[in-house]
Amino acid sequence: PTILVLNGPNLNLLGTREPEVYGHTTLDDIRRLCEARAAALGLAVDFRQSNHEGVLVDWVQDARTSAAGIVINPAAYTHTSVALLDALTATALPVIEVHLSNIHRRETFRHHSYVSRTAVGVICGLGATGYALAIEAMAGLIPGGQA
């Protein structure tokens, strides 16, 4: 089984973007971490990033036939995108939402997530480790996965 790991806008800049908030880990480091964790659980990872809301919606729609579950860091679209929420809900796949930072100790506008409404669970504030934990949790949620 394949887990789609989706990353939203500006996450391509990780490593140099606000390191005091997001740390020095790059998105490529996170991809390798996800692939290693998934491989250890007998799973594959399809790891992607886009700055474009519509592209993310297209990828979520495609996941209906190509993935067993979705791990998503929607980045800023977390707080704005009903379109992403609707697409995720339409897939009927298990969704785990991840944020590197603890959005609840940041600005008020980051406290609300549209995506959480359709997520099985949410992990935030643990940096790249959150992605590895999400992969591990997903293994227990998908057919053919192992807890």
Residues 35-94 that bind ligand DQA (CB under 6 A): 73, 75-76, 78
Q: Retrieve residue 32's tokens.
A: 């390798």
Nearest distance, CB of residue 102 and ligand DQA, angstroms: 8
Q: Which stretch binds ligand DQA (CB under 6 A): 34-42, 48-56, 84-92, 98-106?
A: 98-106
CB of 103 to ligand DQA, least distance (A): 5
**Distance, CA of 97 to CA of 86 (rounded, Å):** 14
Does the annotation list 33 as a binding residue?
no
116 belongs to an annotated ligand binding site: no
Please state, in angstroms and rounded to a whole number, the distance separating the CA atoms of residues 49 and 8: 6
Which CB atom, from 88 or from 100, has the smaller least distance to ligand DQA?
Answer: 100
Among 100, 119, 123, 137, binds ligand DQA (CB under 6 A): 100
**What gap in Å lies between CA 135 and CA 13, rounded to an integer?**
22
Say whether 41 counts as a known binding-site residue: no
**Torsions phi, psi of 91, nearest 5?**
-70, -30
| Catalytic machinery residues | 22, 99
> Which among 8, 3, 2, 141 has a CA at the least distance from the CA of 85?
8
Task: At 133, list the tokens.
Answer: 């934990």
CB atoms within 10 A of CB 75: 21
Consult the annotation and say whether 101 binds a ligand: yes
Residues that bind ligand DQA (CB under 6 A): 10, 73, 75-76, 78, 99-101, 103, 110
